[in-house]
Structure 1
Amino acid sequence: MKELTAKHCVEGYRDQAMAVRVKSLRYGSGGGVVAVIEAESVVRSIHDIALVRLSRSANAEYVPLASAHPKIGTTNYVFGWGRTCPTCPASPTLKRATVTVTGTSAYSSLGTQIRVSPGNGSPCMGDSGGPMFKLVDGKRYQVGVVPWGSSTCTGSSYFASVPISRDWIRGVTGV
């Protein structure tokens, strides 16, 4: 099983033991912890997206990958344990924020990105690698990955585009 994350969350930590916590709303407890097999993790060269191989099934709900960008002006949802203010520690509980899509073709050295403005929150430091979902007829689709969180926890944010990387993801996972 491979899980989607940001490339920079993997690249700088190749020689360190990594794990993911699943099925918990708490940062440091609950749910289960699954080891990452670093030797089988794959990063995309031109976008801030990576797939990490888990040592076993996470027994978590599968979320389909979006085949198209969300429409400009739509509300999307982001999740993470990042800071809630510039000087705060990581959040001890999983947070959800709404964001509004303001662009779908921003480009930087990290590849094509989706730009959003804050709704009831904004990604911040510590949210890297987290998902952005859109809802279509009540069903979640992953449209983005947090490449980095803002150091100010306010303002526009940019997400690595899942639709742009969808063929690459499918090629790596075989799904």
Structure 2
Amino acid sequence: MNVKNLRLFFGLPLPHRQAEAIDRWCRELGLDGRPVARRNLHLTLTFLGSHSVERLAELQCLGEGIRGNAFEMKLDRLETGRHGLVCLGTGQAPEALLQLAGELQRLLRGAGYTLDERVFWPHLTLARDCRNPPLPASVPDFCWRAERFVLFHSTSDAQGTLYKPLFHWPLVTPER
């Protein structure tokens, strides 16, 4: 199969244990929509949409030019969005996260990419198309150290959607 266009986004991957814990908690909610598979749990930094495979080298160079700081990411709110979206959000977005997302958007726009104009909303999608908002038995409290960001390629097949990491870049721990 000759792929010419790729559906791409930058995001923060979850450590395996954190993805398992969130997946377990999410299953207890009994959501009536389409749940996100554990292997696909992530926090989107910026969505690019469909782009030519020839632009991958440009995106790789762009990612290499970012010097973001590592940070603690805490997800402590259950939130709902448009069209039945259910997700985990944060009561206080880390400054390093906001800087990383802002720098990515600035560089991408400078390179001619058209991005969503909505304000960055840090969240981790749990399910889509939910008709009834869930009432959790416990308040979410998930935390992990974000130490890298990734360019993902979204693919679909008979088994569903899969977010494949194409490139990743480290976030540095600031000196104290």
TM over 0.5: no
Which has more helix, going by share of residues? 2
**Which protein, 1 or 2, shows the higher relative CO under an 8 Å CA cutoff with sep ≥ 6?**
2
TM-score for the superposition, normalised by structure 2? 0.29
Larger Cα-atom Rg: 2
